[in-house]
Structure 1
Amino acid sequence: MEITSTHYHLVKHIKDDKFSIDEIYKYAICFKVSAKQFIIAVFDTSTRRCLAYEKYEISENVELIQALEQIYKDHAFISAGYWKKLILISTLPAFCYVPEEFFSKENAIDFLRLNVNFSVNTSEVYHFLHTQQRVVGIFAIEQKLWRWVKGKYPYQEVSCIHENSAFLQGVLSEPNELEARNLHALISEKKLTLLSFKQGNLHFLNTFPVFSTKDFVYYSLLVIEKLDLLPSDISVVLYGDVSEKDAIPQEIRKYVKQVDFGKKPKFIQIGFKFDEVPLHSIFDLLSVGTWLS
């Protein structure tokens, strides 16, 4: 299904048969937003079932907020103001992770400034506690995006999470994946996030720019080396904007023990209509459902 306007085009639309406009008060709606994409997911919080997924691409030379206004105006249900939860997923490169014992809300901006350059004048800073790992993700959200969401949903509490924290939450849902021999790789909009564990604890998480297969291989092998591991012992698990037909899995197989594709996060339910989309490609978005209740 593809719907095009002057501001955007809808490239993927999935709606589960169990979706009911009359039960929106039980649902969580998630917005993942970047300069070029707007992605929507809806979950039933009582069952953790993903009921809807839509992906929009913003038209060339169109401002993000202008495109969001048009989608909001055209959309069948996102303008409803009585969602149980509304979650905004940041895709900005401004993020860092600190142990829970060192974190304080008052120092969140200072922690972020130590790790990345960002503008306090154009950003809002938030944090997310990964209880299982006792680590806090600190991240920035574009201020004009935050104001747009709050303007559209003035009576709705808005929760925020970074895309990397969503990715981390999804991987954490499967304890067997938390081994040093697994390197988890999320590819999204020319960014590569690499995630590794040691004895079940978060050991490495960072994002790199990738514009080619060569970049992917370079950063993957660099991180493996920095972690004092041997490529021949490593299984790379791929998520996001990559498929079996792409050059990336074919090339990295030359260096590592095994290459797999991620599956649906544990505890998340989906219907048969999601057969239309490879689940590893929406893993980070589905992962938001792992902490809904």
Structure 2
Amino acid sequence: MDITKEKVFKSLKKVKDDKFSIDKIEQYCLVLEIGDRDLQVAVIDIKSDRVLILEDYSLTKTEDEHQKVQVLKALFDEHHLLMVGFWKEVVLCFKNPKYCLAPLSYFSKDNARAILKMNCEVQSSDSVGYYKVNSNDSVNIFTYQKEVLKFIRSIYVNSKIRVTHQSGMLVNAVLSNPPFANENELSLYIDRFYLHAAVTNNGKLVYFNSFKIQKFEEYIKYINLICHEFKILKKEGIIKVWGYIKKDSSHFEALKKNFPVIEVGNRTSKLNFGFKFDEIPEHQYFDVFGNYFNL
């Protein structure tokens, strides 16, 4: 693939608050959430907890880290803000299936790779990262693309860079979103090609897992399995869904038919949004905003 001759990204969504000011960039947090074929960008004012920018891009599928950096570079070179290097914080969040959440009491730096290998296949060439999830006493261990991190560090040399993983950020988002029930409740995040599921009880995480989805019926299968395991009643329990699903879609209606109690989740109350964000459904980009709760 010749990156220089192809349009390797496509803008899917762009929202910008009128309060954004290039002169205040040193008080802003930049969030970059990178998946195999997508990128989300958010800018949040740390002083006011106000979301100022949200963008969503699809990316050309790449074969290795080197190609991924080329794709990102092509996007960054055309972007009016991403090459600016004076953000107060930069959060680089990776989206991939190689991760685990380990209790803090069982974790040490020396056994991070060994713990991860108990949960997924890890190659000797894979880079392994970890960090404490702020919302509970766990450590998120995951693989990441070293060349991508190197590229990001080369741009934001004056900013503090934090490296996270989508799974931990979803946990943050769920556990930073009261009120909490004193019974098992199921929080679902429908991503592109994945279903992420968290079970909580009284504000404590009981379970978290991700499932690769190839056809719609698999959503129903996995949700049924979780409801059965944690005794969440399909007609009386608590099930909330966030992510890439429309409330008026046939897919949501199918979920509602199988799980009558399912409801679309709300946007976090810990961040502020101007009227420009009214065009974005409140249940979307829940994971992106979760990154802000790990600063």
TM over 0.5: yes
Contact 1:19–1:51 (8 Å) recurs in 2: yes
Are residues 1:145 and 2:145 paired?
no
Using the TM superposition, name which of 24-33 and 108-117 deviates more.
108-117
2:193 — aligned with what? 190
State the alpha-carbon separation in 1 of the partners of residues 254 and 183 from structure 2. 21
1:45-194 pair list within 5 angstroms: 45-59=46-60, 63-130=67-134, 132-194=135-197
Q: Match for 1:279 among 257, 279, 282?
A: 282
Q: Is this contact kept in 2: 1:233–1:256, CA < 8 A?
A: no
TM-score, structure 2 length as denominator? 0.90
Query: In 1, are the aligned partners of 2:33 and 2:95 still within 8 Å (CA)?
Result: yes
Conserved? CA contact 1:43–1:49, under 8 Å: yes
1:36–1:64 CA contact under 8 A, matched in 2: no
Instruction: Quickly say closer, same or farther: Cα 1:11–1:229, change in 2 above 3 A.
Output: closer
Size of the alignment, in residue pairs?
A: 287
Number of the residue aligned with 2:3: none
The answer for the alignment partner of 1:219 in structure 2 is: 222
The whole-number CA distance in structure 1 between the counterparts of 2:175 and 2:61 is 37
Q: 1: CA distance between counterparts of 2:114 and 2:82?
A: 35
**Equivalent-residue separation in structure 2 for 1:159 and 1:111 (angstroms):** 22
Matched, 1:228 2:231: yes
Contact 1:42–1:53 (Cα < 8 Å) also in 2: yes
Q: CA deviation at 1:61?
A: 6.6
User: Partner letter of residue 30 of structure 1?
Assistant: V
* Whole-angstrom distance in 2 between the partners of 1:247 and 1:215: 15
Identity %: 24
Deviations along 1:50-70, one digit per CA (max 9) or x if unpaired, are 110111112467943222111
Query: What CA RMSD, in Å, does the superposition of the two structures yield over aligned residues?
Result: 1.9
Shift of 1:179: 4.6
Shift of 1:248: 3.1
Q: Hey, what's the Cα distance between the residues in 2 that align with 1:107 and 1:181?
A: 32
CA shift for structure 1 position 237: 0.8
Q: How does 1:245-260 map to 2 (within 5 A)?
A: 245-260=248-263
